[in-house]
Structure 1
Amino acid sequence: MSDRPRFFDDIAGLAGNAFSAVTGAREELHSIIRTRVDEILGALELVRRDEFDAVQEMATRARIGQAETEARLTALESRLATLEGLTEEEKGGPQG
């Protein structure tokens, strides 16, 4: 009877060792696949998603900044035209 519990302990130990070996092999395989995929993507000159998102955000901010600048320029041109019109009236207006 004393041999029976030891047998189960040995089986449990083997199962634990097998599980550890499978887990280690899975991690190694995952690492190898990740390295190969990175090499392929590098060869194709593709960008990563986080890099793409960063550039897309920069472009969005640049478009917003351009729209704001265009609006300010339009307002300044309007003010300048108004001021030039007042200056012409003060001088007596264009002769015509």
Structure 2
Amino acid sequence: MSTGPNRILDEFAKLMTDAAGAAQGMRKEVETAFRGQAERILNSMEIVQREEFEAVREMALKARAENEKLVARVAELEAKLGGGASKAAEKPAAKPRTKKTS
């Protein structure tokens, strides 16, 4: 058992350790409450989460890449056909002639 100034310093160190532990526990409680409130506010504003945004973004990028491939394939097929499909779409269909009977 220590006596004198060492005992006072030991008690003071113990008090500071306990106070630091209590402060850290309080910090965790405040942080948890803040996160919960912030999450409620964001949910009420219908803001998407980052993970959802990234998933939709990836889907859009894949769709765009696939669309570009399909456009290139259609152009290639039109070139093989001699551009017939695009020319037929540009020219109006000729009207059939009717025979006149005299």
- Give the shorter-chain TM-score range: 0.7 to 0.9
Size of the alignment, in residue pairs?
83
The match for 1:19 is 20
The match for 2:63 is 62
* Partners of 1:24 and 1:80 in 2: CA distance: 75
TM-score (norm 1): 0.77
The match for 1:48 is 49
* Shift of residue 56, structure 1, vs aligned partner: 1.3
What residue identity is the alignment partner of 1:46? I
* Partners of 2:8 and 2:14 in 1: CA distance: 10
* Shift of residue 8, structure 1, vs aligned partner: 0.5
Unaligned stretches of 5+ residues in structure 1: 83-96
Q: What are the equivalent positions in structure 2 for 1:32-47 lying under 5 Å apart?
A: 32-47=33-48
Kindly report structure 1 stretches of 4+ aligned residues shifted beyond 4 Å. none
* Shift of residue 50, structure 1, vs aligned partner: 2.6
Q: Deviations 1:22-53 (Å, cap 9, x if unpaired)? A: 00100110011001111111111110123212
* Partners of 1:22 and 1:2 in 2: CA distance: 29
The match for 1:28 is 29
Bigger helix share: 1
TM-score (norm 2): 0.73
What residue identity is the alignment partner of 1:21? A
* Partners of 1:27 and 1:18 in 2: CA distance: 14
What residue identity is the alignment partner of 2:81? L
Percent identical pairs in the alignment equals: 35
